Amino acid sequence: MKTRTADRPNSRKSTQSRLATTVATTAVSLVILTAAQEQLDAKDPKGLTIRQNQPQNGQSAAIEKYFAQGYNYCDALVLAAFWGEKSALDAKYRLGQKMLDFGPEDGLIHIRNARGEALKKDPSDMPCWFTDGGYTFDDAELLGQYWGTGIGESKATMTSLLVGGHENVIQKALRSAKRGQ
């Protein structure tokens, strides 16, 4: 079947134009995203950077070691505040590297010291809050009823338990509270 010239799009010229536009748009987008990385990093109330990006190539083993020992995001915030690190990711890397170099026991020494210092602070000045552990207002409300306290006190208790490394106590209490409903 023959097609008329008018039925065909100006394929070569049109394709080149679309391709050039796509390349230019992509290049501009990459420049904007790269330049705006600092604006994309979130800041927590203590001024620590919460990076959403992945660890750099050389950091992977240290980060894996950090998580393999059972440490969590709140632990990283506690360590970051204790050491004066810029981000939770930096604290994860630093503790993970210490454990790779000196063994898991070295990690326990550092996290215990960091937790001890954090727990000396007023509950409103803790480096992490109950929400950093993935808990919700509903969880705090439920535990407040279960513990016979107000929501504010249950939030502070959950935060102190989380900072102190006793997340298992929160989880056990939540399970019991949910069974009792």
**Per-residue pLDDT reduced to its tens digit, 26-40:** 544 444 544 444 444
- The better pLDDT of the pair 51, 147 is held by 147
Q: Are 48 and 73 part of one and the same domain?
A: yes
Residue 158: inside a domain: yes
pLDDT above 70 (res 18)? no
Q: In sequence order, what DSSP letters do the residues of the chain get, joined into one string?
A: ----GGGS--HHHHHHHHHHHHHHHHHHHHHHHHHTHHHHSEE-TTS-EE--SPPPGGGHHHHHHHHHTT--HHHHHHHHHHHT-SBHHHHHHHHHHHHHHH-HHHHHHHHHHHHHHHHTS-GGG-SS-GGGGT--HHHHHHHHHHHT--HHHHHHHHHHHHHTT-HHHHHHHHHHHHHT-
Distance (Å, rounded) from C-alpha 118 to C-alpha 168? 19
Task: Give me the mean pLDDT over the 84-103 stretch.
Answer: 96
pLDDT above 80 (res 20)? no
Q: Are 118 and 136 part of one and the same domain?
A: no
Distance (Å, rounded) from C-alpha 159 to C-alpha 154? 8
Residue 154: inside a domain: yes
What is the count of structural domains for the chain? 2
Residue 32: inside a domain: no
Residue 173: inside a domain: yes
Q: Are 99 and 147 part of one and the same domain?
A: no
Q: Are 52 and 119 part of one and the same domain?
A: yes
Q: Are 136 and 105 part of one and the same domain?
A: no
Tokens of 42: 């979130």
If you average pLDDT over every residue of the chain, what do you get?
Answer: 81
Residue 9: inside a domain: no
Picking from 104, 123, 142, the residue at the C-terminal end of a domain is 123
Q: Are 98 and 73 part of one and the same domain?
A: yes
Q: Are 141 and 114 part of one and the same domain?
A: no
pLDDT above 80 (res 23)? no
Q: How far is CA 175 from CA 13, 51, 138, 148, 180, in A?
A: 66, 32, 13, 16, 9
pLDDT above 60 (res 62)? yes
pLDDT above 50 (res 98)? yes
Q: Are 151 and 168 part of one and the same domain?
A: yes
Tokens of 153: 């006190």
Over the stretch 131-173, which tens digit does the pLDDT of each residue have? 999 999 999 999 999 999 999 999 999 999 999 999 999 999 9
Tokens of 172: 């056990």
Q: Are 92 and 156 part of one and the same domain?
A: no
Per-residue model confidence (pLDDT) at position 123: 82
Distance (Å, rounded) from C-alpha 96 to C-alpha 84? 16
pLDDT above 70 (res 53)? no
Residue 74: inside a domain: yes
Range from 54-68, 73-87, 145-159 carrying the lowest mean pLDDT? 54-68
pLDDT above 80 (res 84)? yes
Q: Are 51 and 100 part of one and the same domain?
A: yes
Q: Are 106 and 134 part of one and the same domain?
A: no
User: Is 157:130 a contact under the CB 8 Å cutoff?
Assistant: no
Q: Are 150 and 169 part of one and the same domain?
A: yes
> Computed from CA positions of residues 102, 90, 126, 167, in that sequence, does the dihedral angle turn out positive or negative?
negative
Residue 152: inside a domain: yes
User: Is 95:85 a contact under the CB 8 Å cutoff?
Assistant: no
Residue 36: inside a domain: no
Range of the domain at 78: 43-123
